[in-house]
Amino acid sequence: MPARISDPASAPHAGADLARCNWCSGDPLYVRYHDTEWGVPSRDPRHLFEMLILEGFQAGLSWLTILRRREALRTALMGFDPEALAGTGEAWVQDRMQDASIIRNRLKLRAAGTNARAWLALPDPVGLVWSVVGGRPIIHHYAAPGDAPVAGPEAEALSRLLKRHGFTFVGPTICQSYLQAIGCLMDHTTDCHRHRELAG
C-alpha cells in the first residue's frame, strides 16, 4: 500500500523545485499525495477499497478537502475495513452524522456500508477493478489535465460492473478519478516529474 500522507514533510519530493501536474497546489498534503500515491499502480485490496470510498465522498467537493479529512474519515470508518463497515446500519450512520471532523453526508455514509458489503461479495475485487484495463496500467501522454476525458471507456466499463454488483456512488466520473488515483490509468501530464518516473 502506498505510504500514508499524514506527514507531508517526509515526502521524498516535498519542497523540491519539480514540475508537477498543474492541479497539484502548493499545499504540502497535496504535494505528498501527488508525489507518492496518485497514479501509482496499487493491487492492495484495502487501499483499493479505501480509495473507492474516498472517491465517493469526494463527489461535489475538492480532493484537497478529502485529503484534509482523510485521517478523520479513516478513524470514523474503522480504518476502511470492509468487514467492519459491512455490519453498519442506520444507527451507525446517525452516530457518524454527529462527527464534525468528517464529511457529514448521510447518503455517502450509507454508501460506505453498502459498498463494503458489495466488495466482500466479490470473489476477486482486485481482479475486477484491474480487468477494465486488461490487468496492466494504461500509460497516457497528456500534455494537460484537460486532455484526459472526464469519463473514458475504462471508467464507463468499471461503473457498469460495480453498479451490477450493487455498488453506489460509482458513476463514470467517480470511476475515472478512481482509476487515475490507483494507477490503472497513469495520467500524470508529460511535463510532470512523476510521468517520467511512472511511465518507464
Integer Cα distance of 71 and 140 in angstroms? 31
Reply yes or no on whether 50 is catalytic: no
Integer Cα distance of 172 and 100 in angstroms? 29
Integer Cα distance of 99 and 95 in angstroms? 7
Q: What angle do CA 131, 32, 29 make, to 5 degrees?
A: 110
Q: 38, 55, 92, 154: which one is catalytic? A: 55
Reply yes or no on whether 142 is catalytic: no
The C-alpha cell 494507477 sits at 183
Reply yes or no on whether 37 is catalytic: no
Q: 33, 38, 130, 178: which one is catalytic? A: 33
Q: 23, 63, 71, 156: which one is catalytic? A: 63
The C-alpha cell 470511476 sits at 175
The C-alpha cell 508525489 sits at 35
List the catalytic residues. 33, 55, 63
